[in-house]
Amino acid sequence: MASFEEIAAESQQRWEELTAGGQPWIRIGTALCGKAAGCDDVIEAIEAALQQNGVAAQVSQVGCLGLCFAEPLVDVQLPGGPRVFYGSVTPETAAEIVANHVAGGAPLAHLALGYLAAGGSDGTVNSALDGIPDLNQHPMRVVENRVVLRNAGTIDPEDIHQYIANDGYHALNQALTEMSPEEVLEQVNTSGLRGRGGAAFSTGTKWRFLAGSNAPQKYILCNCEEGDPGAFNDKAILESDPQTLVEGIILAGYATGTSHAYIFIRHGHDGPIDRARAAIVQAQEMGFLGENILDSGFSFHLEVALTGDSYVAGEESAMMEAIEGKRAMPRFRPPFPAQVGLFGKPSNINNVKTLAYVPQIISRGGEWFAGIGHDQSTGTVILCLTGDLKYTGMIEVPLGINLKDVLYEAAGGVPDGKALKLVQTGGPLGGVLGAGNIDILLDFEILRSAGAILGSGGIIAANEDNCVVDLTRSLIAFCQYESCGKCFPCRMGMSHLLEVLERICRLEGVPEDLDLMRKVGQDMQAGSLCGHGQLGFNPVASALRYFGEEFDTHILDRRCPTEVCSVPRFSPVASRR
Amino acid sequence: MTTTLTINNKSVTVPDGGSVLDAINASDIYISQLCKDPDMKAIGACRTCLVEIHGVRGFPASCSVPATEGMVVQTDSDDVRRIRSGVIELTMAMLPEPAKSPPFVKGGWGDFGQLTTAAQQHGIQSPRWQSRPREETDESNTVFNIAMESCILCGRCAQACQDGHQFIGAIDFLGAGGNSRIGTFMDKPLADSICTTCGQCLSVCPTGAIQVKEQSVVSVQLSATPAADGAPLTADKLTADSLRSVSTTCPYCGVGCGIKVQVGDGDQIVEVLDDPENLSSVGMLCVKGRFGSSFVHHPDRLTTPLIKEGGEFRPATWDEALDLVAERLTHYRGSSFGTLCSAKATNEDGYIQQKFSRLLMQSNNIDHCTRLCHSPSVEAMLTSLGSGATSNSYTDYEDAGCLVVIGCDPTSNHPVAASRMRRAVVERGTKLVVINPRRIDMCDYADLWLRAHPGTDVALLNGMAQVILDEGLQDQTFVTNRTEGFEEWAKVVETYTPQRVEEITGVPAEDIRQAARLYAIPPTSSIPPFRKGGPGRISPGSCLIWGMGITQHTNGTANAHGLLNLSLLAGQLGRPGSGISPLRGQNNVQGCGDAGCLPNAMPGYQVLSQETVVKFQNAWGGHGFPEEHGLVITEMVDSMKESTGIKAMYITGENPLLSEPDLHHAQEMFESLEFLVVQDIFMHETAQMADVVLPATSFAEKDGTFTNSERRVQRVRKAIEPRGQSRPDWEIISDLAKRMCHKLELDFADQFDYGHPSQIFDEMARLTPIVSGINYDRLDREGGIQWPCPTADHPGTPYLYADSFPRGPRALFVPFEQGPVAAEMPNRRFPLILNTGRLLYHWHGGTITRRVTNLMARSPELQIAISPQDGQKYGIEDGQMIRVSSRRGQLTGRALLTDRESPGGIFIPFVKLSESAANFLTNAAYDPTSKIPEYKVCAVRVEAVGLDC
């Protein structure tokens, strides 16, 4: 097996061939956002046009650059030149781009979204192009500090060499050759990294639980269930740069003295599943996974495991049940997974994002990471911006950024001159913030005290045309449908909450309904087995807190101010068999 | 050690290791607990056992919190009552509308068991919530319904079906959220699932949603009145008021499950419950155990003695019948008398019957059905080890690193033992190797399945031994220190290379190697490997488990020796998690042999010799009996036409004219008997030929003991009065013996003077070292005890051969070559190999189970299993009536095309249904050593039967 230096040298050579070799390099975004916008047709058109024009070019499918609103996104780099990005490409414009830019060497300023300067092989930086703006000045990019997403949209996720050429696996090599497991753990501790799955628990502390167990068999589990509507950053990491996660997991294994890990992905997320599997195979081929990694004596094995179609499977103990081949229903605690986890062995569960930070933390040091962010919320956060916003997509920003700035600056505000009504953060269980309450720093503690959570980073904006009662009903419909059915308060409570909300939406609510909901909400919160039921009343509670009047109008005046509720809606309750 | 907690300001002390809920239940405080079954692990779903614990945030569910010293628990604070009430109210809203409207009627419609109790305890009359539309009741199972409308989705049933008890997994939650429901794989009706109708789900249901169909059977929950003290309603408390519960032992198979017979008004058995205290079944039962007891009350029961006159039976009094028998039998004392004891009767019954035959009839022609099942195992074990019993316990299966299940189908024949094997595989990571020409259910759990051709087991086992030797996997210390005959044996075995064995058996060489490696040195086990006295190489343990597929061959004894040799070579004997298990068929086939119902041995396998005769003679009032060994049953039958052969027979609880091979031949033989007495609970084929038929009691009507497959002596307790004039076997034979003593003017009538079976057991214990330490008082106090138990302070023996063997310090390797695979092989006229065996829903020939409605409904007609390939070849479609013929007879049944059979093989259960019985086809060829018939191989042909049939 080749040494790491030999591998790194080969990767570097391949990268230079791509960026500054003899052929143009065309990169197309093929993550979920690209697929949804029709990238497959664009790829077909590009290949046809290349043939028609008789030009040879390297065509790569890359992940998500974050500018989802502009998908399909095509990135053309002539040898040694800057990258020029074309947004919302159609098969027709694709042909035009190939003919003029790729074959003719002339970028199309009227179609281009922006350019990014690329470092040349000689260290020079190629510069601006006439009439094409610097993409880094785009509102979504200007606020960013890319740590996890540093390679997203830039490298081919199915080519490990491109990852290595961009500093990939240097952290692993460094850890295995120069650092003890304790030193790796210490860097993570110093970084102040906290779980990005929603609970924001200290990652270093969690790892220490596992490292402290001398059980012969332990597991690291990476959670990519990601079922929240409006959250797609975990999937995007696996689709854009899976090796950064694989490297992070191996480092976690090294730090905690663990030899086996699973990446747990929701069944049906084909892109992330395929790319994670391909990444594992390539990492094995390179000798980064398997026995005696990089001749260090450390051995580590990684597999992809799939859930069924279940939201609650993302709950850590339900996830372990699912990996064991059982129905994904949560276990009670204690015992905690660090004592009795997967297959009864001590286990550590981290979110994709959390683990994906680790290589950079090791490369650049815990202090560096701790220097980013705000107070106890160190580092960056990857936000998924959806709903009534001008620019939708994914941005990685330092924690502590003001939500208002995110919405009005980065995302360009609410389009069509409408007013913002509310923002929903942290997934369906998160709750809503009224438009008057968005001047708030994105910091775990500050958000929590405002009754909202950062959760997995999903931010859904709703304009004034939305009815709060109807929105709450649809959130609870989701929660009801996704309750696993195990514990009584959640299963029955959600059903009855939905029943009451549907009644109010039909303008048939009675004043007692609000108390009835609060009562069942309290019982769910106090009595439920897992977070799904404990937090399940949040959407209703926060809606009542910020928009109590709108509920009253529905009940007392029998009127929906937005007139949304006058239209008959799909009812999960009525549709039960 | 104990833990002391404060619960509602009261101090409660409980054993260590329990939950807070256990502690609450141990005090006299009521707390609702809808999803927690007393005998299963906590699920933590219902959230109605929430409490407040000082220093713990929120409202933890007490079922899932370990009790710790000094804990301060509050079960009735306002907060906790409010939340609990809320949850109970939500739960009640799952039930159909009328149930919500007060008042709940305890014991009537609208009673939802523990939910109703919980609602009453929390003062909830009617929930504010709208009730939910529910799924329809699943009525597809012939024995019980799942009424979805009374189901609160607590999950207990799914747990019982899975890792709570049975490891079957027929039912689980389907759907999600408000759509959650209990259902089967692919949402099919229960009857179309892998459900085995064991009823474990029914036994744990807290609301009575799962209920037996039979109207006469009163549900426990419905028949009970609420506990006056408000204490949690356990099954015992529920039944206490209206039903009498009698703990006894299941009368079906050799597993020996504990059952609690519930007796209601009119001395009727209304229900059978499992017994979590029983050490062999640990709370499990199968379909026969739980739903198969109604035969006791069947109108066909023999209730009066019958005497045949002019070819017809007429009722008679006991005096008349017994005097007649006594008079006739006086003419057959000596070798012309033979007796067949019952492996379904008690140890005490068996002991009296052999005593009667030896002492009074002066005949050692005593045998029982073990001849037709495990005699080759017993012969081989006696030769190699010196004792003829299972060496280990069911717990060893769970502790083993590898189980090799060969020639048996435990899922059908020993369902509860099979559950324990599944637990080992699923929960403890035990490797499972199945060796069977049929794809039995256990194959679904197997790491390796070897599909050897029928009759080639000697080669296969020799081949595995060759691999162990070749790869140096043997336990050399064990072989050197504790065995003999190794060199001679090894010479024979070394020629059985995997390649050669593959040619003989059809099993790929690599699979043979894998099986040998897994058996000799399993990768892991759930307990640390242990050998008493150490050291030597100690690998995780392995068990060999076998049945009739090994024994019912002309190679039977050779097969059994193959297994024993393997266990000696690998040192998989005499330590926890290892051992050899010939799974016993009948409930008391072990005990029947233990009690001396054998032609060559006295109770406790004391071989008939001058010495033993003297020992028993002294104990039996100084009267002697012959020393020469008697005839085995197959020899008795064959001798019936000879002048010096058997002329009179006394048969209890056996039906040889269904269980013997080649029934036409057997019938002819029996017709030549001069005098035949049959003592049983039903009229059957053999009884029809008898001169006198005597009505015996069933297991439910008498006291005694059964000894199960793991050598555990367990109590049988009288639950109801004898039906009609029936009497226990021991009592009938004792009465007869006394009458004969009188007629013959013999002075030892007092030898048959017993007031209670415990006196019989005590006499047997005095004369039988292996059970000397056992008596009824101990059994009542401690539960079942595993022999050997030589003294009153001996705890019993879970596994044998820890230090030595009964034959001496060394066990013996016995070499065998693979002989002809069977006496009768297929040819052009009879191209298929017939295999016979049992079904889950029937017991043996079916004399009992044909009279149990529940079981008949589940399996009403004879199914003939045949491979789809052969179906096509012979133009037979699934579900079609077919005729199967051998050189000796024919039968008809319904074709079942299934990949369980390999091409060229056909399987017929030997239960007799609609006048078709497999033993009309089977071959009366015998294993030379043990004389067992070759039930497992004979040549047959099949043909479709026209529609007019």
Position B229 scores a pLDDT of: 46
Residue B794 has pLDDT above 80, yes or no: yes
CATH number at residue A486: 1.20.1440.230
Whether A433 and A494 map to the same domain: the answer is no
Which of A324, A488, A522 should we substitute to test contact with B (largest number of B Cβ atoms within 10 Å)? Answer: A488
Q: Are residues A111 and A205 in the same domain?
A: no
Calculate mean pLDDT across residues B738-764.
94
Please tell me which residue, B147 or B228, carries the higher pLDDT value. Answer: B147
Q: Do A495 and B58 touch (CB under 8 A)?
A: no
Q: What is the structure's pLDDT at B595?
A: 95
Contact A480 B178 (CB under 8 A): yes
What residue type is assigned to position B341 of the chain? C
Q: What is the mean pLDDT of residues B637-643?
A: 91
Which range is least confidently modeled, A6-10, B249-253, B834-838? Answer: B834-838
Q: Is residue A160 part of a domain?
A: no
Structure-block tokens of residue A369: 């990471």
Nearest to B175 among A485, A492, A493 (CB): A485
pLDDT at B225 over 50: no
CATH number at residue A117: 3.40.30.10
Query: Does residue A561 form part of some domain?
Result: yes
Chain A residue at shortest CA distance from B180: A485
Say yes or no: A85 and A66 in one domain: yes
- The distance of B59 to chain A (nearest Cα, Å) reads 6
Q: B61: nearest CA in chain A?
A: A527
Query: pLDDT > 70: what percent of chain A?
Result: 96
- Asked whether residue A147 falls in the same domain as residue A180, the answer is no
How many CB atoms sit inside 10 A of residue B309's CB? 10
pLDDT for position B107: 42
pLDDT score for A119: 60
Query: Based on the domain organization, do A388 and A431 belong to the same domain?
Result: yes
**A238-263 confidence digits (pLDDT tens):** 999 999 999 999 999 999 999 999 99
Read off the pLDDT of residues A168-223 as tens digits, 9 standing for 90 and up: 999 999 999 999 999 999 999 999 999 998 889 999 999 999 999 999 899 999 99
Q: Which residue in A486, A489, A491 is closest to B178 by CB distance? A: A491
Task: Point out the domain boundary residue: A369, A403, A426.
Answer: A369
- The pLDDT value recorded for residue B282 is 94
Candidates B34, B68, B80, B90: best to mutate against A (most CBs of A within 10 A) is B90
- Please say which residue of A325, A353, A369 terminates a domain: A369
pLDDT confidence band for B98 (50 / 70 / 90) = low
Residue A273 lies in a domain: yes
For an interface test with B, the pick among A311, A326, A486, A508 (most B C-beta atoms closer than 10 Å) comes out as A486
Phi, psi of A108 (to 5 degrees): -100, 95
In this complex, the residue of A483, A488, A489 whose CB is nearest that of residue B177 is: A483
Chain A partners of B66 at a C-beta cutoff of 8 Å? 334
The confidence score (pLDDT) of residue B457 equals 94
Which SS3 state, helix, strand or coil, does residue B406 take? strand
Going by the DSSP 8-state scheme, the letter that residue A167 receives in this structure is: T
Taking only the tens place, the pLDDT of each residue in A5-26 is 999 999 999 999 998 888 999 9
The answer as to whether A576 is a domain residue is no
Q: Determine if residue B375 is left, alpha or beta; phi over 0 gives left, psi from -120 to 50 gives alpha, anything else beta.
A: alpha
Show the tokens assigned to B300: 């066909």
The verdict on a CB contact (< 8 Å) between B44 and A520 is: no
Task: Give the residue with greater pLDDT, A301 vs B149.
Answer: A301
Percent of chain A with pLDDT strictly greater than 90: 85
Cα distance from B47 to chain A (closest Cα, Å)? 6
Residues B308-329 have a mean pLDDT of: 96
B392/chain A closest Cα distance in angstroms? 28
Closest alpha carbon within chain B to A325 = B426
**What does the buried/exposed string (b/e) look like for B393-430 if buried means 16 or more CB atoms within 10 Å of the residue's CB?**
bbbbbbbbbbbbbbbbbbbbbbbbbbbbbbbbbbebeb
Q: By CA distance, what is B93's nearest residue in A? A: A492
pLDDT confidence of residue B216: 38
CA nearest to A312 within chain B: B176
Average pLDDT, chain B: 90
pLDDT at A570: 57
Average pLDDT over every residue of B29-56: 93
pLDDT reported for residue B342: 95
Q: What's the pLDDT at B226?
A: 40
From residue A423, give the alpha-carbon distance in Å to each of A197, A282, A462: 19, 41, 6
Nearest to A486 among B79, B93, B155 (CB): B155
Nearest to A342, CA basis, from A315, A322, A327 = A322
Say whether B176 and A529 touch across the interface (CB within 8 A).
no
Residue A402: CATH number of its domain: 3.10.20.600
Asked if the model's pLDDT at residue B607 lies above 60, the reply is yes
Q: How far is CA A277 from the centre of its chain?
A: 18
Residue A364 sits in the same domain as residue A398: no
List the single residue in A with minimal CA-CA distance to B63.
A332
What total of structural domains would you count in chain A?
4
A397 three-state secondary structure: strand
Token couple for B512: 């043979």
Q: CA B111, CA A81: separation in Å to the nearest integer?
A: 80
- Residue B462 reports pLDDT greater than 90: yes
More confident position, B782 or B857: B782
- CA A264 to CA B375: how far, in whole Å? 54
Which residues does A contribute to its contact with B (CB < 8 Å)?
310, 312, 327, 329, 331-332, 334, 480-489, 491-496, 498-499, 516, 519-520, 522-523, 526-529, 572-573, 576-577
Q: Does A551 lie in the same domain as A418?
A: no
Identify whether residues A11 and A136 lie together within a single domain: yes
How many CB atoms are closer than 10 A to CB B483?
22
A185 lies in the same domain as A327:
yes
Q: How confident is the model at residue B221 (pLDDT cuts 50, 70, 90)?
A: very low
> Which residues on chain B place their C-beta less than 8 Å from a C-beta of chain A?
34, 42-48, 50, 58-59, 61, 64-66, 79, 82-84, 86-87, 90-91, 93-94, 128-130, 132-133, 135, 152-153, 155, 172-173, 175-180
Give the per-residue pLDDT at B612.
94
Q: Identify which has the larger pLDDT, A130 or B433.
A: B433
Q: How far apart are CA B214 and CA B218, in angstroms?
A: 8
Please, are residues A365 and A193 in contact by the beta-carbon 8 Å criterion? no
Q: Does the pLDDT at position A568 exceed 90?
A: no
| DSSP-assigned beta bridge partners for residue B649 | B338, B676
In this structure, the strands spanning B811-812 and B483-484 are parallel
Write out pLDDT tens, residues A204-218: 999 999 999 999 899
Q: Given pLDDT bands bounded at 50, 70 and 90, which one contains residue A560?
A: very high
Last residue of a domain, one of A441, A460, A479: A460
Mean pLDDT value across residues B458-474: 96
State the helix-helix crossing angle for A233-240 and A270-286, rounded to 10 degrees.
40
Among A270-279, B99-108, B707-716, the range scoring the smallest mean pLDDT is B99-108
How does the average pLDDT of chain A come out, rounded?
92
Asked whether residue A117 is domain-assigned, the answer is yes
Residues of B in contact with A520 (CB under 8 A): 86, 90
**What are the helix and strand counts (H, E) for chain B?**
33, 38
**Which residues in chain A are contacts of B173 at CB distance < 8 A?**
327, 329, 484-486
A64-68: average pLDDT: 95
The encoded tokens of residue B57 equal 């945030």
How many Å apart are CA B614 and CA B523, to the nearest integer?
A: 52
The CATH number given to whatever domain includes residue A224 is 3.40.50.11540
* Nearest residue in A to B82, CA atom: A523
Residue spans of beta strands (DSSP E) within A174-268: 219-224, 260-265
Could you list the residue range(s) of the whole structural domain that residue A67 is in?
4-151
A514 in a structural domain: yes
Better pLDDT: B781 or B227: B781
The answer on A147 and A224 residing in a single domain is no
Q: What is the pLDDT of residues B874-885, one digit of tens each?
A: 999 999 999 999
The answer to whether residue B109 scores a pLDDT higher than 70 is: no
Which of A523, A524, A528, A529 to mutate to test binding with chain B, by most B CBs within 10 Å of its CB? Answer: A523
**Omega prior to A489 cis, within 30 of 0:** no
pLDDT of residue A125: 52
Residue contacts between A and B (CB atoms, under 8 Å):
117
| Other C-beta atoms lying within 10 Å of the C-beta of residue A48 | 14
Q: pLDDT tier at A236 (50, 70, 90 boundaries)?
A: very high
Stated pTM of the model: 0.89
CB B218 within 8 A of CB B264: yes
Q: Is A99 a domain residue?
A: yes
For residues A402 and A256, membership in a common domain is answered with no
Asked if the model's pLDDT at residue B928 lies above 70, the reply is yes
A159 inside domain: no
- A414 plus A523 within the same structural domain: no
Q: Say yes or no for a CB contact (<8 Å) between B87 and A489.
A: yes
User: Which residues from chain A sit within 8 angstroms of residue B87, using beta carbons?
Assistant: 488-489, 492, 523, 527
E strand or H helix that includes residue B431 = strand B431-435
- Residue B846 pLDDT level (bands cut at 50, 70, 90): confident
Beta-sheet strand order (sheet of B785-786): B704-707, B712-716, B785-786
What are phi and psi for residue A483, nearest 5 degrees? Answer: -60, 135
pLDDT band of residue B480 (cuts 50, 70, 90) is very high
Of A310, A520, A576, the CB nearest to B179: A576
